[in-house]
Structure 1
Amino acid sequence: MPSRARARSYDPAKTRTAVIAQLRRVREAVGGLDETGLDAPTRLGDWTVRELIAHLGMAVRSVVRLLEQPAPPARQTTVTGWATATDAHADRIDADTRALAAGADPGELLERAEERFAETTSVAPGDRLLATRVGAMRLDDYLVTRCVELVVHADDLTAATGVPVAHDRQALATATRVLADALAAKAPGGSVEVRIPPFAVVQCVEGPRHTRGTPPNVVETDPLTWLRLATGRLTWAEALESAPLTASGDRADLSAHLPVLG
């Protein structure tokens, strides 16, 4: 279990590989879409599938764009800080996404994004600082956030098109852990144990801290259900009713702390 005093570490090489692997799975799904499919609605406001694909491409292209800019003088945020700060930039992200979608072929956009990402990140040092929207971050940390973007929006793409987008295991594991740690940071404490097998276990929520034996308050679910809860795609009540979610104990209701990505 990650300590609340120390950030979880991620293997940089595995993270880079996971970003490319997940992007390729998205490209495979997008390759079979016609104009009707591209114009279909999504669960992301009034974005169509075309805008969703553009956003996925932009998420990866941003790594290259940021590496082309001067490095900031000092780090300002971490992976967990990114997870809780993205909502403040929603309007700018929306505008940039729409502009990109209006001027690019979806398949070509993703292909170019993968090529440039692979070329650029293979030679860039992991401690290189990037001037991201939410503050200066290390490249290695920013790549972790790209896994979250790709995994979460791959699930959105599946929901919109009905075409299953496979999840790279490493990318899914990374996204699950990031959002579990974001919950622990948002609701610090040790009274509830959240289990997301096989990828993450965290303790959270103020109250009596569990130290040994079976915890009195336990929440357990699968990775995709957790991602949907953590990003607001699924409510706590909906998950209890229809998803593989169990919650035991009088402190195990996490609805007040969800979503965590925002």
Structure 2
Amino acid sequence: MVTKARSTPRREDSLSRDRIIDASIELLDSSGEGGLTFRALSERLATGPGAIYWHIAHKSDLLTAASDTIIARTVAATVVGATPQATIRALALGMFDAIDAHPWVGSALASAPGQLPIVRIVEGIGQQVHAMGVPDRQQWAAVSALLSYILGVGGQNAANSQFARTQGIHRADFLQGLSTAWSQLDAAEYPFARSLAGQMRTHDDRADFLAGIDFILSGIASQQSRLAKNVVTT
């Protein structure tokens, strides 16, 4: 009896979009955006570029998908706080840590305005802003302020950390040098910057970041209070 030879599944049949994205994240974390090429990805996955193109058409799509995976994990891991404000703080800090761990995420998000990764963050913040009782017409302004702060400060912090790593600079040494340089500024021209010189040695980036979030949340609450008073007086 003639038996049929068992066929070997094609490699691309077992290659999922999720596997490609996970491999892309590994490459991005180790080599940055410049290290993410379809050739490098093919070598890591032991497959041909064609199998990858079947799932992902362009590098920009791959970057967006990789950043979306990071954002989705971060949002899913956010612990809902006792108040909307506490939840926003937790989400913001989760984003800060995620961008710090994956420095390429900041630029990837900047290159994908309005796409799903951003939508996830907007939705996470927006639901809490709504729960705070912010009027519909003012919700976008509140969300936009928080979003811009989170991405801006988080991205700058990640860029600073990445620069320090590539230059072999230790954070303590960098802050000490910054403190020394600021302390030597002209007291008449830069009185405020000079007054901060001592704080530069020991300041905590995460604590500073959360303090900024609290300032924004306090501003939102203050505006809500003013609006409520105006309603009562009118």
TM-score, with length taken from structure 2: 0.30
Q: More helix per residue: 1 or 2?
A: 2
Q: More strand per residue: 1 or 2?
A: 1
Structure exhibiting the larger radius of gyration computed from Cα positions: 2
TM-score, with length taken from structure 1: 0.28
